[in-house]
Amino acid sequence: GLEIGGAVAGGGHHLDQDYPPPFSEDEAYRDLLASEFTSLTPENQMKWDYIHPEPDVYDFEAADDIVAFAEENGQDVRGHTLVWHSQNPAWLEEGDYTAAELREILREHITTVVGRYAGQIDQWEVANEIFDDSGNLRTEENIWIRELGPGIIADAFRWAHEADPEAELFLNDYNVEGLNAKADAYYALVQDLLADDVPIHGMGMQAHLGTMYGYDTSLPQNIERFGDLGLTTAITELDVRMELPADGAPTPEQVAEQNEFYEFVLTSCLEAPSCESFTLWGASDLYSWVPHTFEGQGSATPWTEDLERKPAYCTLQQTL
């Protein structure tokens, strides 16, 4: 019953990276997405700067393509994302709006975007990365929390629920895999939201891992405590990057480490009744965000740049 998901790269008119737009043009990549996954997450195409580029302009083209593709292939879609501090358009971040106007902008955006895909998106990552690693709300960075206060999180969930009562609504973040201050902050927030009857249904753990950082072995306990609150849990953006040697090829030790990381996360999810979805951030190294974001790092996904299966792929398959 576990959904196996992949992030879909490319498409859209606001590409912020220097790799080609594969989704619409790369048949081999589309075949891989169609055959290996039961769930898809648009990697960028539903973010504010893609889908809402001007105050009165929505651009749904790239997102529509992915939703239609998923429908054709009988796949779930995870919507990503509605409230975030990053990849917001300049008109929003630099605009001179009153609090009342901003509130209406967010309400209108959520109603429009969630409403457009009502019945087609199974899970929405409503709020993304709202706490820092110390467990404090990103009060400075996140325009919504800064200008409207922390209560806006609950409102975002309420608006999303109104627009699509069937969608499962998630919080989502990185570095919340283990039992740590940031995960504790989410745990407390979820309890508050549930006490206030806010429609929240899931906790997403991104799991952007790196072999050089190790992994937190308390992931199973952390998943379990969110499950005990009645939430669905999900691994939403798993990749395992590494510092690449000069020749660009991972060493046998790195390959073995990467296998172990993938196996650990998948096992943790498989063994938890609450964990219903397991998404990889990138189907192949070719379109992985890692080399563009972390200098000298790469080889983070289970497929090579030629879309060949790596040992990590076999490890995942055997673990399943």
Looking at 23, 33, 39, 43, which residue binds ligand XIL (CB under 6 A)? Answer: 43
Which string of b and e fits 206-229 if b means at least 16 CB within 10 Å?
bbbbbbeeebbebbbebbbbbbee
| Residue 206 binds ligand XIL (CB under 6 A) | yes
Q: Which is nearer to ligand XIL, 274 or 279 (CB)?
A: 279
Q: Which of 43, 129, 177, 276 is catalytic?
A: 129
Q: Closest-CB residue for ligand XIL?
A: 289
Judged by CB under 6 A, which of 16, 31, 133, 271 binds ligand XIL?
Answer: 16
Under the binding rule (CB under 6 A), the answer on residue 289 touching ligand XIL is yes
- CA–chain centroid gap for 135, Å, is 19
Which one among 128, 142, 268, 301 touches ligand XIL, defined by CB under 6 A?
128
Told to judge if 25 belongs to the known catalytic residues of this protein, a careful annotator would answer: no
Cα angle 199-201-203, degrees, rounded to a multiple of 5: 130
Question: Can 61 be counted among the known catalytic residues?
Answer: no
Closest contact distance (angstroms) between CB of 206 and ligand XIL is 6
Q: How far is the CB of 223 from ligand XIL (least distance, A)?
A: 19
Residue 17 interacts with ligand XIL (CB under 6 A)?
A: yes
Please tell me whether residue 133 binds ligand XIL under the rule CB under 6 A. no
Among residues 199 and 282, whose Cβ is nearest to ligand XIL?
A: 282
Contact 241, 300 (CB under 8 A): yes
> Is 277 a binder of ligand XIL (CB under 6 A)?
no
Binding mask 56-75 for ligand XIL (x = CB under 6 A): --------------------
Active site residues: 129, 237
Q: Which residues bind ligand XIL (CB under 6 A)?
A: 16-17, 43-44, 128, 174, 206, 237, 289
